[in-house]
A and B are shown apart, each in its own frame.
Chain A
Amino acid sequence: MLGAMNRNLTRRAWLGLAAIAVAAWRPRPARAQGYLANLAPEEPIGETMKRLFGGRPIKDGASVITIDMPLIAEDGGSVPIAVDVKSPMTAENHVKAIYILAEKNPRPLNVKIGLTPAAGQAYVVTNLRLADSGPIRVVAETGDGSLWIATRDVRVTVAGCAA
Chain B
Amino acid sequence: MADIGRVKLAVPGSVRRGSVARVRALVIHPQERVERQGGRSVDRNYRFVNRVVVTYLGREIALIEPSTAVSENPTFTIPFRATEAGPLKVTFFDSHGVKFEGTAEVKVT
Contacts and interface: CB of A to CB of B under 8 A. Distances in A.
Given A34-B96, A123-B22, A128 B70 contact: yes
Interface stretch (B1-9, B55-63, B101-109): B55-63
A118 B71 contact: no
Nearest to B98: A31
Nearest to A130: B69
A29 B97 CA distance: 8
B60 A118 contact: yes
A98 to B, nearest CB: 9
B16 interface: no
Given A115-B61, A118-B59, A39 B78 contact: no
B67 A125 contact: no
> Which bucket holds chain A's interface residue count?
35 or more
A119 B79 CA distance: 5
Contacts of B97: 29-33
A114 B33 contact: no
Contacts of A39: 34, 46, 67-68
Nearest to A99: B65
Contact of A129 (B22, B70, B78, B80): B70
Contacts of A82: 77
Given A31-B96, A115-B62, A126 B76 contact: yes
Interface of A: 29-40, 42, 77-79, 82, 89, 102, 105-107, 109-116, 118-121, 123-130, 160-163
Which 4 A-B residue pairings sit nearest by Cβ, starting from the closest?
A120-B81, A31-B97, A163-B68, A125-B77
6 contacts: A40-B67, A42-B41, A78-B72, A107-B34, A127-B71, A128-B70
